[in-house]
Amino acid sequence: MQAEKFTSIVSCLRPRLLSLALQFNTDFDAAEDAVQEALMRLWTAWEGLPDTADAERLAIRLTKHACIDAYRRRQQQQMVELKDNSATTTDNTIQEEELQYALERAVSALPPAAHRLWTLFAEAQMDSAQIAATTGITVRSVSTMLSAARRHIIESLKKGGAL
Q: Where are the domains of the chain?
A: 2-82, 109-159
Residue 54: how many other CB atoms lie within 10 Å: 12
Q: Find the range with the poorest average confidence among 77-86, 124-133, 154-163.
A: 77-86
Whether the predicted model's global pTM rises above the 0.75 cut: no
Average pLDDT over residues 128-138: 89
User: How deeply is 119 buried, as exposed, middle or buried, from its count of CB atoms within 10 A (0-12, 13-18, 19+)?
Assistant: middle
Please provide residue 160's backbone torsions phi and psi, each rounded to the nearest 5 degrees.
-80, -5
CATH classification (class only), 2-82:
mainly alpha
Share of the chain above pLDDT 70, in %: 94
Q: Specify the DSSP class assigned to residue 110.
A: S
Kindly indicate the confidence band of residue 73, based on its pLDDT and cuts at 50, 70 and 90: confident
CA 28 to chain centre: 25
Nearest to 139 by CA among 121, 124, 123: 121
Please report the pLDDT score of residue 1 as a whole number: 39
Return mean pLDDT, the chain: 85
Please report the pLDDT score of residue 87 as a whole number: 60
H/E element holding 9? helix 2-24
Span 89-131, pLDDT tens digits = 666 777 888 888 888 888 889 999 898 888 888 888 888 898 8
Distance CA 81, CA 119 (A): 41
